């Protein structure tokens, strides 16, 4: 009898406590959207945001490799500066891709290959002090993920936020730069091809993909666009839409809780990403722009298509306005942190304000899940 | 909603404690209550959860994205969430030489082999063996056939090394393919692996003197709930047998930290904890209080003295992260083919080992710091689709590598929760201990020994029935 009474009491408590938690997450009492046709949204997301961003990164990475080749042939300060500029131009689309790190970037390990952080400075310096021939093949097959990619190149090009003085760059460092930018170019082309498929490649791209034995068929983008159809790992269009939103939520969380909060909490400047070039805050702002591009139909504001934001606006205009505002507030708050981030980890007010803006953006994005059901 | 769940947990904990003290015999009642509690769980979209969706009680998470295995349970809020984030970062951030990587290792981060707390595509298939990118995403267990210690090598082959050191060796994997057919004539193929160690850094060991066991990463789904399992229930399962199907599971008993206890984690249930310390030490070469020596100590490449490279506090955060991970809810539970598949799953007797429903006990798992008790994991009704017992899977899958009570042919029943999302999370569908099965069908058709009865029943099904059973697996 006592057991029965206790059980009843517990159940009553649970029912009481949980009774109100069901619909609370649904903004403004909207009912979830069932059976919506997301075809156009998915197509524009894939073509105008994802593939467009990766195509830009791929093109810039080719130019980066060419700039380094030019610097190798003629190691002047001007040519070194051109490499540094081109690093930034290649870096930006990568950071603008971080709202869609799912798929090939994860499956093929390309995220760590391109952007492993922290950099293993100690090991990198040993490699530079060694006598192993520094070829692209050696970097690709003989060194691990932490000794290639954007930050290895950054370390070789920048110092204390400045372009290195050409006198500081040794011939062996130039060899490493040449090898590692070649590998980065190949990785960027690979990522683009894995999303967009094997058609439409120029002769050089085709040659590189064949050398690397990459097979992409119609590409992950085709599978994403065809969610709900046979051959796609996404059983329903809604699963792909959920993935799109999750990608945005993940990068919001990553910027706020890891990229900013990590160094801010530990006060360890060595944990600040992109600290050699002092590019950290630009990285973070581009991360948030990747959310904007993902939701608003494209990476080029002049050529945007049908974004998920249009549907959000149709169903709940205030939520769309909230998201749009919180994206801009987050970008502005990050921009308010004094440069360089690595030297201003004590800027409590500005940093906590940026973190709060990212938390707010994350909460807005979570509401989209509830809106779409 | 998280705060409300936290309050439920607090109440549950208080009542649980009260009941355990006052009514020691009433545990089944608590389980009954937690089932009732499951009925009140809402999804992230605000819908009332279908009980069939709830894989792990309050630790069920409602996402089918690439983060389906890497999402904290809803009860991980406030300070708990901060600790989750701390553990997640330690799990994912690459170790570098200055914080302990190497000199020899297998992976450079927990997350290198367990992307999104899942199962990174093993380089067995992408590289034909050991990988080139600083990780191999599988383990090569070594032992000599005569039982003697292998001079210059340890328990595991470290096939990666930092600059200036040599990997202990490299694994080469080759596969031969053979075609078979179901009873209805439809064809399928299985690939049989052939492994060889090459590039030994020291003594070359002849293949005929060596036993190799290749293991791909386990998905880190539901590990906390696994640690909280009601041991009495497991022992009851172990006492059952189904002679008509030649099925009879047993628990692995092992000694961990000097205590003789039930093993739960690992492909052969060879560990009683989540091997966080062992992972840092053996997989990454990061030393700790529990494993203060480099894994290559006493070998030709022993670097000598070095400091402790990760604290127990940090590793306890990783342990917390693992135990706080949610389990993805099932999807499409009301679809006719999925429901039919579940019936066929039982008809094929898969459910006798892949047991759908278990319970966590009243004793909370304790993290490796020896202090943190995971009360949130107690008193839950869960659906892991495993009995966590060892079963003889026949010579087809045997590796001649005994561990604890597990013989060479015995393997722990793989928990199937979340398995339908492996392709979304990790981009591939390689299954079984060494990933030789390239999809669900092949995994089933590799089942020998105690799994043979199920294999035969599946083989005799119609194409439509087999497809329905696979759809059920995809819903997990």
Three-state secondary-structure class, residue B353: coil
- Beta-sheet pairing, B327-328 with B390-392: unpaired
Q: How confident is the model at residue B15 (pLDDT cuts 50, 70, 90)?
A: very low
Same domain for A69 and A198, yes or no, is yes
Closest chain A residue to the Cα of B84, Cα to Cα:
A257
Rounded Cα distance, A189 and A209, in Å: 8
CB contact under 8 Å between B26 and A3, yes or no, is yes
| pLDDT tens sequence across A134-162 | 999 999 988 988 899 999 999 999 999 99
Question: How far is it, in rounded angstroms, from Cα B141 to Cα B150?
Answer: 12
pLDDT at B386 over 60: yes
Q: Is A141 on the interface with B (CB under 8 A)?
A: yes
Backbone angle region of B46, left / alpha / beta, with phi > 0 → left and psi within -120 to 50 → alpha: left
Q: Quick one: what percent of chain A has pLDDT higher than 70?
A: 91
Tokens 């006198």: give the residue: A167
Does residue A220 sit in the same domain as residue A270?
A: no
Instruction: Give the model's pLDDT for residue B25.
Output: 34
**Helical residues (DSSP H) of B115-265, grouped into ranges:** 123-126, 223-227, 231-239
CB A363 within 8 A of CB A370: no
Nearest residue in A to B45, CA atom: A370
Domain count, chain A: 2
**Six-digit token pair at B168?**
């202990």
* Mean pLDDT taken over chain B: 90
Give the domain extent around A366: 237-372
At B95 the three-state DSSP class reads coil
- The CA distance from B424 to A234, in Å, is 8
> Which residues from chain B sit within 8 angstroms of residue A106, using beta carbons?
66, 115-116, 426-427
Contact A99/B at CB under 8 A: no
Q: Which residue of A has its CA nearest to B85?
A: A257
Q: Which residues of A touch B8 (CB under 8 A)?
A: 14, 17-18
Would strands B358-359 and B381-382 be described as parallel, antiparallel, or unpaired? antiparallel
Segments of B75-225 assigned E as strands = 104-105, 139-144, 160-161, 170-181, 187-198, 210-215
Q: Is the CB of A243 less than 8 angstroms away from the CB of B37?
A: no
A52 shares its domain with A185? yes
Burial class (CB in 10 A: 0-12, 13-18, 19+), A43: middle
Question: What SS3 state is found at B220?
Answer: coil
Nearest CB partner across the interface for A243, out of B66, B89, B135:
B66
Judge whether residue B144 has pLDDT over 60.
Answer: yes
Provide the sign of the torsion angle of the four alpha carbons A272, A268, A113, B426, taken in this order.
negative
> How many angstroms away from the CA of B128 is the closest CA of chain A?
13
Q: Are residues A163 and A285 in the same domain?
A: no
**pLDDT value, residue A17:** 37
Residue scoring higher pLDDT (B464 or A1): B464
Flag whether residue A262 sits within 8 Å of chain B, measured between CB atoms. Answer: yes
Nearest to B180 by CA among B191, B190, B192, B171: B190
Of the candidates A168, A195, A225, which is a domain's last residue? A225
In whole angstroms, give the CA distance from residue B385 to residue B473: 10
B250: left (phi over 0), alpha (psi -120 to 50) or beta: beta
pLDDT at residue B28 in the model: 34
Residues of A in contact with B115 (CB under 8 A): 106, 109
Question: Cα–Cα distance between A238 and A369 in angstroms, integer?
Answer: 10
CA of B139, closest CA in chain A: separation in Å? 17
Residue A13 above 80 pLDDT?
Answer: no
Q: What is residue B54's predicted lDDT score, i.e. its pLDDT?
A: 87
Q: Which residues of A touch B332 (CB under 8 A)?
A: 235
A5 contact B CB<8A:
no
pLDDT value of residue A293: 98
Note the pLDDT tens digit of each residue in A338-370.
999 999 999 999 999 999 999 999 999 999 998
- The answer to whether A299 and A49 are in contact (CB under 8 A) is yes
Give the angle subtended at the CA of A279 by the CAs of A275 and A285, to the nearest 5°.
125
Answer whether B318's CB lies under 8 Å from B278's CB: no
How distant, in Å, are the alpha carbons of A180, A225, B121 from that of A175? 9, 41, 32
Identify whether residues A219 and A290 lie together within a single domain.
Answer: no
B214's tokens: 């290749």
For range B24-48, the mean pLDDT: 49
For residues A45-54, b (16+ Cβ closer than 10 Å) or e, as one string? bbbbbbbbbb
Q: Hunting for tokens 């009995």 — which residue is that?
A: B387
Cis bond leading into A265, ω under 30°?
Answer: no
**What distance in Å separates residue A235's CA from the closest CA in chain B?**
10
Report the residue of chain B nearest A234, measured CA to CA.
B424
Q: How many CA atoms lie within 13 A of A362 on its CB side?
A: 15
Better-predicted residue by pLDDT, A2 or B425: B425
Does the structure show a pLDDT above 80 at B409? yes
Q: pLDDT class for B375, splitting at 50, 70, 90?
A: very high
Mean pLDDT calculated for residue range B320-336: 96
Instruction: Please identify, among A225, A249, A271, the residue that sits at the C-terminal boundary of a domain.
Output: A225
Burial bucket for residue B265 (CB in 10 Å: 0-12, 13-18, 19+): buried
Residue B1 to residue A366, Cβ atoms within 8 A: no
List for chain B the helix, strand, coil content (%; round to 5): 35, 15, 50
Q: Which of A116, A120, A243 sits opposite B65 (nearest CB)?
A: A243
Flag whether residue A268 sits within 8 Å of chain B, measured between CB atoms. Answer: no
Q: Which of A196, A225, A254 is the last residue of a domain?
A: A225
- Which two tokens mark B101? 């990587």
Higher pLDDT, A48 or B54: A48
CB A27 within 8 A of CB A33: no
Average pLDDT estimate for B130-137: 88
DSSP-assigned letter for residue A344: -
Q: What mean pLDDT value characterizes chain A? A: 91
Chain B partners within 8 Å of A6 (Cβ)? 15, 19
Is residue A141 included in any domain, yes or no?
Answer: yes
pLDDT digits (tens, 9 = 90+) for A202-217: 999 999 999 999 999 9
Can you give the pLDDT at residue A23? 34
Chain B positions in Cβ-Cβ contact with residue A143 (cut-off 8 Å): 134, 163
In chain A, which among 198-237 make CB contacts under 8 A with chain B?
A: 233-235
Is A172 part of the contact surface with chain B (CB cutoff 8 Å)?
no
Query: Rounded to 5 degrees, what are φ and ψ at B18?
Result: -60, -45
* Cβ B376 vs Cβ B6: under 8 Å: no
Q: Give CA–CA dist B358/B385, Å, rounded.
A: 8
Nearest CA distance, A7 vs chain B (angstrom) = 7
pLDDT attached to residue A33: 63
CA–CA min distance B438, chain A (Å): 15
Residue B110 has pLDDT above 70, yes or no: yes
B11/chain A closest Cα distance in angstroms: 8
CA A213 to chain centre: 25
**Is the Cβ pair A239, B64 closer than 8 Å?**
yes
Give the mean model confidence (pLDDT) for residues B351-360.
97
In Å, the largest CA–CA distance within chain B is: 64
Q: In B205-348, which ranges are E strands? A: 210-215, 252-256, 259-263, 327-328
Q: With contact defined as beta carbons under 8 Å apart, do A98 and A251 qualify?
A: yes
Structural domain contains residue A27: no
Whether the per-residue pLDDT at A4 is higher than 90: the answer is no
Least Cα distance to B30 among B17, B40, B42, B49 occurs for B17
Is A6 within the bounds of a domain?
A: no
Quote the minimal CA–CA distance from B60 to chain A in Å. 15
Q: What tens digit of pLDDT does each residue of A59-98 get?
A: 999 999 999 999 999 999 999 999 999 999 999 999 999 9
CB contact under 8 A, B8 and A18: yes
Helices (H), chain A: 2-18, 39-44, 52-73, 77-95, 104-107, 110-115, 121-129, 136-142, 150-157, 171-196, 203-211, 220-225, 237-254, 261-266, 280-295, 308-315, 317-336, 348-372
Position A90 scores a pLDDT of 98
Print burial letters for B96-124: b (CB count within 10 Å at least 16), e (below 16). bbeebbbbbbbbbbbbbbbbbbbbbbbbb
Q: Which of A358-362, B205-209, B375-379, B383-387 has the lowest mean pLDDT?
A: B205-209
CATH number, residue A210 = 1.20.1420.20
Read off the pLDDT band of B306 (50, 70, 90).
confident
**Contact call for B67 and A250, based on CB within 8 A:** yes
Contact check, Cβ <8 Å, B45/A373: yes
Which among A14, A257, A366 has CB closest to B8?
Answer: A14
Q: pLDDT at position B393, please?
A: 98
Is beta strand B187-198 parallel, antiparallel or unpaired with respect to B170-181?
antiparallel
Å between A13 CA and nearest CA of chain B: 8
Q: B331, A235: Cβ pair inside 8 Å?
A: yes
Q: For the segment B215-259, what is each residue's pLDDT rounded down to a tens digit?
A: 999 999 999 999 999 999 999 999 999 999 999 999 999 999 999
| A28 is a domain residue | no
What pLDDT, in 10s, does the model give residues A245-264? 999 999 999 999 999 999 99
- Domain assignments of chain B as residue spans, ordered by start: 27-74+221-269+317-474, 91-217+272-311
Contact A370 B32 (CB under 8 A): no
Local structure of B392: helix, strand or coil: strand
Model pLDDT, residue B40? 65
Question: pLDDT tens-digit profile of A155-190?
Answer: 999 999 999 999 999 999 999 999 999 999 999 999
pLDDT digits (tens, 9 = 90+) for B413-443: 999 999 999 999 999 999 999 999 999 999 9
To the nearest whole angstrom, how far is the Cα of B215 from the nearest Cα of chain A?
19
Contacts of A108 in chain B (CB under 8 A): 121, 427
Q: Do A112 and B112 touch (CB under 8 A)?
A: yes
CB contact under 8 A, B33 and A10: yes
- Cβ pair A144:B65 closer than 8 A: no
Contacts with B131 (C-beta within 8 Å, 6 or more apart), sequence order: B123, B137, B160
């Amino acid at each position: 009898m006592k057991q029965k009474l206790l059980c009843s009491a517990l159940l009553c408590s649970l029912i009481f406590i949980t009774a109100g938690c069901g619909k609370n997450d649904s903004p403004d009492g909207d009912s979830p959207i069932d059976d919506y046709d997301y075809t156009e949204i998915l197509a524009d997301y894939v073509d105008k945001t994802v593939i467009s961003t990766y195509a830009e990164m791929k093109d810039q990475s080719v130019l980066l490799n060419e700039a380094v080749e030019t610097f190798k042939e003629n190691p002047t300060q001007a040519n070194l500066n051109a490499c540094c500029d081109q690093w930034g131009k290649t870096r930006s689309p990568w950071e603008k891709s971080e709202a869609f790190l799912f798929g090939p970037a994860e499956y093929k390990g390309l995220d760590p290959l391109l952007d492993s952080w922290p950099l293993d400075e100690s090991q990198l310096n040993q490699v530079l002090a060694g006598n192993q021939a520094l070829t692209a093949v050696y970097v690709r097959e003989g060194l691990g993920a932490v000794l290639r990619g954007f930050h290895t190149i950054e370390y070789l090009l920048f110092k204390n936020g400045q372009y290195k003085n050409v006198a500081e760059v040794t011939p062996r460092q130039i060899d490493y730069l040449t090898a590692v930018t070649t590998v980065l170019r190949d990785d960027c082309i690979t990522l683009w091809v894995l999303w967009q498929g094997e058609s439409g490649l120029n002769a050089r791209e085709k040659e590189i993909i064949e050398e690397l034995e990459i097979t992409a068929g119609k590409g992950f983008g085709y599978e994403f666009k065809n969610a709900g159809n046979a051959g796609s790992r996404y059983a329903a269009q809604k699963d792909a839409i959920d993935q799109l939103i999750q990608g945005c939520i993940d990068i919001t969380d990553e910027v706020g809780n890891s990229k900013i909060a990590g160094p801010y909490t530990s006060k360890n400047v060595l944990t600040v990403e992109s600290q050699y070039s002092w590019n950290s805050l630009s990285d973070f702002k581009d991360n948030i722009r990747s959310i904007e591009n993902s939701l608003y139909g494209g990476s080029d504001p002049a050529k945007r298509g049908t974004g998920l934001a249009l549907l959000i606006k149709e169903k709940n205009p205030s939520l769309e306005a909230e998201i749009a505002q919180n994206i801009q507030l987050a970008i502005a708050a990050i921009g308010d942190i004094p440069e360089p981030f690595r030297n201003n980890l004590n800027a409590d007010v500005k940093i906590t304000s940026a973190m709060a803006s990212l938390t707010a953006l994350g909460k807005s994005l979570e509401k989209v899940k509830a809106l779409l059901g | 909603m998280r705060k409300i769940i936290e309050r439920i947990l607090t109440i549950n904990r208080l009542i649980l404690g009260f009941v355990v003290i006052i009514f020691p015999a009433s545990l089944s009642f608590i389980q009954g209550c937690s089932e009732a509690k499951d009925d009140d769980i809402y999804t992230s979209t605000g819908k009332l959860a279908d009980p069939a969706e709830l894989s792990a009680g309050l630790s069920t998470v409602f996402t089918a994205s690439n983060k389906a295995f890497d999402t904290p349970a809803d009860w991980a809020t406030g300070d708990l969430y901060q600790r989750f984030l701390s553990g997640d970062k330690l799990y994912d951030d690459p170790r570098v030489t200055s914080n302990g990587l190497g000199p020899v290792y297998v992976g450079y981060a927990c997350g290198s082999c367990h992307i999104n707390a899942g199962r990174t595509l093993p380089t067995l298939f992408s590289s034909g063996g050991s990988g080139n990118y600083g990780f191999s995403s599988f383990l090569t267990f070594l032992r000599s056939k005569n039982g003697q210690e292998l001079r210059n090598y340890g328990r595991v082959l470290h096939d990666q090394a930092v600059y200036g050191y040599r990997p202990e060796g490299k694994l080469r994997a080759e596969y031969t393919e053979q075609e078979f057919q179901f009873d209805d004539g439809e064809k399928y193929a299985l690939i049989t692996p052939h492994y060889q160690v090459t590039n030994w850094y020291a003594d070359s060991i002849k293949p005929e003197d060596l036993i190799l066991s290749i293991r791909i990463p386990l998905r880190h789904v539901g590990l906390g709930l696994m640690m909280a399992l009601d041991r009495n229930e497991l022992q009851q399962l172990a006492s059952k047998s189904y002679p008509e199907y030649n099925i009879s599971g047993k628990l692995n008993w092992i000694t961990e930290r000097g205590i003789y206890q039930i093993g739960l984690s690992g492909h052969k249930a060879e560990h009683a904890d989540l091997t966080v310390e062992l992972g840092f030490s053996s997989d990454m070469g990061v030393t700790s209080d529990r494993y203060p020596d480099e894994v290559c100590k006493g070998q030709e490449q022993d670097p000598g003295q070095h400091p402790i490279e990760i604290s127990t506090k940090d590793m306890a955060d990783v342990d917390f992260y693992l135990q706080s991970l949610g389990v993805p809810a099932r999807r499409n539970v009301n679809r006719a083919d999925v429901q039919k598949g579940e019936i066929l799953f039982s008809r094929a007797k898969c459910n006798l080992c892949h047991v759908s429903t278990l319970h966590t006990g009243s004793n909370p798992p304790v993290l490796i710091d020896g202090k943190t008790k995971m009360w949130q994991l107690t008193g839950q009704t869960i659906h892991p689709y495993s009995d966590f017992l060892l079963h003889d899977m026949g010579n087809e899958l045997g590796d001649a590598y005994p561990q604890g009570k597990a013989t060479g042919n015995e393997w722990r029943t793989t928990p199937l929760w979340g398995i339908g999302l492996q392709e979304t999370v990790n981009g591939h569908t390689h299954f079984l201990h060494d990933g030789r099965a390239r999809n669900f069908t092949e995994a089933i058709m590799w089942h020998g020994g105690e799994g043979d009865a199920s294999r035969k029943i599946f083989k005799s099904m119609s194409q439509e029935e087999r497809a329905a059973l696979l759809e059920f697996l995809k819903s997990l």
